[in-house]
Every structure is written in structure tokens, then in C-alpha cells.
């Protein structure tokens, strides 16, 4: 029995010695903690969670995290955190004892969300694995408080009753502010006194552009801009039509520009909208006029071309009559063309030469002259060769004679 106790004590001693001699990395204990800046939030709030890995001489820690996307939405990460992943690292020599990352969420809906972090791989500075760890946090999210719905505006009391409005049978009211509507291009909000009441008006500074009021019914429905005609104290819908890159404001004629003769009022449909127009006809077909103001402030009648939807200033041109179509029995006979008169005879003694004949004669003369020059050149060459042959024969005879004398 005593020997057994001695044996146990010896084994324990050696076990403790082995533990003391073991490498520090093998004894390292990896721990993971997660802390949130708030455990309860409202929809729309930002929630930040800090993740810390603790160990001994760590260089890399990798892992994942999960959350409920119906309650939380990933916003951003720092320190090696991205949506659903952790990848923390240290460049410190010998490694580090702590690695930290930060994850930011946005609360999107009511509920309880558990965010689970799991570090699956931790490497020491010496490259040995040190194990893993996990942690989690719970966040309770409450619904955002309901935004109170403002009571509807009663424009019958908040606005000003519009008078002499054309194109409608119901009562319309002028708004006192244009804060919630879009102003037309170049227009600015201003105040205007209408029937001793202050209303909002859209106007173009230092311009004769028409004054616009915004009208709607008492409930605020069917709202739109109307042009105010101060002289007649009337209001009619504000309409525009575009041609290429220009925009024209359609107006009602005030008599300052007379309507050209032959035109009658009609309704013209452009882009499924009806406009008041004036129509006439000539040999080219139908002509439509619109009374409008262009971007340069020129007011008058503009000719509208339905084929290409173009507008241009209308200028009265000379009438172009339509050629009548007569039945066959009433067709007007076309008079026979008058006989051509024979050309007057040339005066006696006058010489008339056709241009073609003249050029032919000139060409023939030029060819004859060239031929004559060639012949003369050939003859001169033959004469020169003849003289050379005669001189050669003479020289031979004299040489023969000298040889005879010498013998």
C-alpha cells in the first residue's frame, strides 16, 4: 500500500512537470466576447456591437456571425468585419493578446434579434492553431412610433374662392402657398392681391409672362395652375405645348393680335390632350393655329404641324387657291401650241458658221500642219543621209586613186 502511494505521488509530480514545461501557446485559452451599445432599440435606430477575441500571441482570428435580417439590417463593419464574416489580423511582432472588430446594424422592424458570433480559427504568431470560441447578444427592437397624420386641409376655408373659372362647374379655390407644389420653369412664388385677398402666385420677375394661380377643390383634389387674366378677371387652365426644344404657353386671344382671315375655332388633340385651335385649309391641306407665348415673350398665332409636332410663328402668306377638278365633259381643252416660226434668213453677204463645223475645220488644219512638219523632218533626215553617203563614196574613190599612183 505504501508503495502504491509513492507511485501515485511520482506520477503526479511528472504530470505537473510536463504541464510546466509545455509551450505557452498550447496552454492558450481563446475567449470571445460581444458587447452592444444598446440592448433595446426602436426601428430606425443604429445598434453597434463590439467583438473581442482574447488569447495569447494571436495573429489571425477568423469566423462568422448570423442575425435576423427581418429585425436588423447590416450597415457597416470595421476591424475585419463584413456582412456575416469576421477576419481579424495583427501585424504586431509576436502576435497580440486581443483582436477587436465592430459591426453596426440598423433596426428595421419590431422583434428580438440574436446576433451569434463564432470564431472558428485562431492562429498564433508561430502559425499554430489555438482553437475557437463563440458569443452572442440579444437586441429587442420596438416598432417606431406612428407618425401622426395631419388633418386634411379644407381649402374652402384655407384658400380663396376663385371666380370666373373657365372649363369647370365645381367651386375651385386659390391656394395661399405653393410650398407643396412644383413651380413651372423660370417661375417663382410671390404674393398677389386677388379680390382683396392675399394668395400665392407663380410669376416671372421683370417679365410679361402670365400670372399663375394654383387652384383645387375643397379637398385639394384636381389641383393645377390657372392663368389669371386681370383685364377680364377670368381664370383658365395653364397649358403648354413643346416643339423640338422650345416650350410655348397657350393663351386666350385678347384681341391684340388679329385672327387671320379664313380660320375658324376648333379643338386640336396633341399627346392625348385637347387644345383650343383655329383651322383653315389651302392647297396643301389643313392649317392649325395656336395662340401662344414663346420663351422670348413673343405672343401671337403659331402654325402647328401635326406631322412633326413643330410650331413656328404664323405669317400671312398670299392665298394658294385650290385647283378645281372638273368632270370629263366640262374639261377645258388645252389650246394647241402655236407653230414655231422658221428662223429668219441670213442677210445677204453675211457668213454664218456653225460652231461644231468651225472646231472641225480648226482641228483638220492643225492635223495638216503637224503632218507637213513631220514630212519636212523626214525629208531633211533623208537629205542628210544622202550627203553622208556621197561624201563616203568620194573619199573611197580618192583613196583608190592615190593607191594607183603610188604603184
In this predicted structure, what is the pLDDT of residue 286?
86
The alpha carbon of 270 is separated from its chain's Cα centroid by a whole number of angstroms, namely: 25
Q: Name the band, by pLDDT with cuts 50, 70 and 90, for residue 26.
A: very low
Grid cell for residue 178: 405653393
**Domains in the chain: boundaries:** 28-142, 155-237, 247-313
> How many degrees, rounded to 5, is the angle at CA 192 between CA 187 and CA 195?
140
Q: What is the mean pLDDT of residues 29-58?
A: 93
- Cα–Cα nearest to 64, from 123, 131, 135, 127: 135
- Threshold 0.75, pTM exceeds: no
Largest CA distance in the chain: 175
Q: Which residue has the higher pLDDT, 3 or 211?
A: 211
Q: What is the mean pLDDT of residues 378-400?
A: 84
Asked whether the predicted pLDDT for residue 346 surpasses 70, the reply is no
Mean pLDDT is lowest, of 58-67, 95-104, 134-143, 309-318, for: 309-318
Mean pLDDT is lowest, of 89-103, 186-200, 303-317, 343-357, for: 343-357
For the chain, percent of residues with pLDDT exceeding 70: 83
Among 12-16, 79-83, 332-336, top mean pLDDT goes to: 79-83
In this predicted structure, what is the pLDDT of residue 384?
87
d(CA 11, CA 5): 10
Q: Which CATH class is domain 28-142?
A: mainly beta
Question: What are the tens digits of pLDDT across the range 185-216?
Answer: 899 999 999 999 999 999 999 989 999 999 99
In this predicted structure, what is the pLDDT of residue 397?
81
In this predicted structure, what is the pLDDT of residue 337?
54
Amino acid at each position: 500500500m505504501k508503495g502504491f502511494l509513492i507511485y501515485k505521488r511520482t506520477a503526479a509530480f511528472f504530470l505537473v512537470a510536463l504541464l510546466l514545461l509545455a509551450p505557452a501557446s498550447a496552454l492558450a485559452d481563446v475567449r470571445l466576447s460581444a458587447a452592444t451599445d444598446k440592448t433595446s432599440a426602436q426601428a430606425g435606430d443604429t445598434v453597434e456591437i463590439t467583438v473581442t477575441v482574447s488569447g495569447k500571441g494571436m495573429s489571425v482570428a477568423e469566423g462568422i456571425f448570423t442575425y435576423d435580417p427581418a429585425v436588423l439590417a447590416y450597415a457597416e463593419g470595421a476591424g475585419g468585419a463584413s456582412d456575416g464574416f469576421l477576419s481579424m489580423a495583427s501585424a504586431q511582432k509576436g502576435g497580440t493578446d486581443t483582436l477587436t472588430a465592430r459591426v453596426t446594424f440598423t433596426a428595421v422592424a419590431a422583434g428580438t434579434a440574436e446576433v451569434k458570433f463564432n470564431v472558428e480559427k485562431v492562429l498564433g504568431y508561430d502559425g499554430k492553431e489555438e482553437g475557437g470560441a463563440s458569443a452572442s447578444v440579444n437586441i429587442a427592437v420596438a416598432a417606431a412610433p406612428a407618425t401622426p397624420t395631419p388633418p386634411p386641409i379644407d381649402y374652402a376655408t384655407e384658400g380663396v374662392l376663385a371666380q370666373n373659372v373657365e372649363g369647370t362647374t365645381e367651386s375651385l379655390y386659390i391656394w395661399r402657398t405653393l410650398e407643396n407644389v412644383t413651380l413651372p420653369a423660370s417661375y417663382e412664388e410671390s404674393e398677389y392681391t386677388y379680390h382683396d385677398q392675399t394668395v400665392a402666385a407663380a410669376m416671372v420677375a421683370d417679365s410679361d409672362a402670365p400670372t399663375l394661380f394654383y387652384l383645387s377643390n375643397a379637398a385639394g383634389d384636381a389641383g393645377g395652375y390657372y392663368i389669371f387674366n386681370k383685364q377680364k378677371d377670368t381664370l383658365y387652365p395653364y397649358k403648354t405645348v413643346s416643339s423640338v426644344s422650345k416650350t410655348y404657353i397657350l393663351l386666350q386671344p385678347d384681341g391684340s393680335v388679329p385672327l387671320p382671315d379664313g380660320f375658324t375655332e376648333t379643338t386640336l388633340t396633341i399627346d392625348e390632350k385637347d387644345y383650343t385651335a383655329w383651322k383653315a385649309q389651302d392647297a396643301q391641306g389643313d392649317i392649325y393655329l395656336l395662340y401662344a407665348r414663346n420663351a422670348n415673350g413673343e405672343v401671337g398665332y403659331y402654325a402647328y404641324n401635326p406631322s412633326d409636332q413643330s410650331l413656328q410663328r404664323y405669317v400671312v402668306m398670299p392665298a394658294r387657291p385650290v385647283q378645281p377638278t372638273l368632270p370629263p365633259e366640262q374639261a377645258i381643252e388645252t389650246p394647241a401650241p402655236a407653230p414655231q416660226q422658221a428662223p429668219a434668213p441670213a442677210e445677204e453677204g453675211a457668213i454664218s458658221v456653225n460652231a461644231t463645223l468651225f472646231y472641225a475645220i480648226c482641228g483638220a488644219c492643225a492635223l495638216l500642219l503637224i503632218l507637213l512638219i513631220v514630212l519636212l523632218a523626214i525629208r531633211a533626215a533623208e537629205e542628210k543621209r544622202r550627203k553622208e553617203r556621197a561624201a563616203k563614196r568620194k573619199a573611197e574613190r580618192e583613196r583608190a586613186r592615190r593607191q594607183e599612183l603610188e604603184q
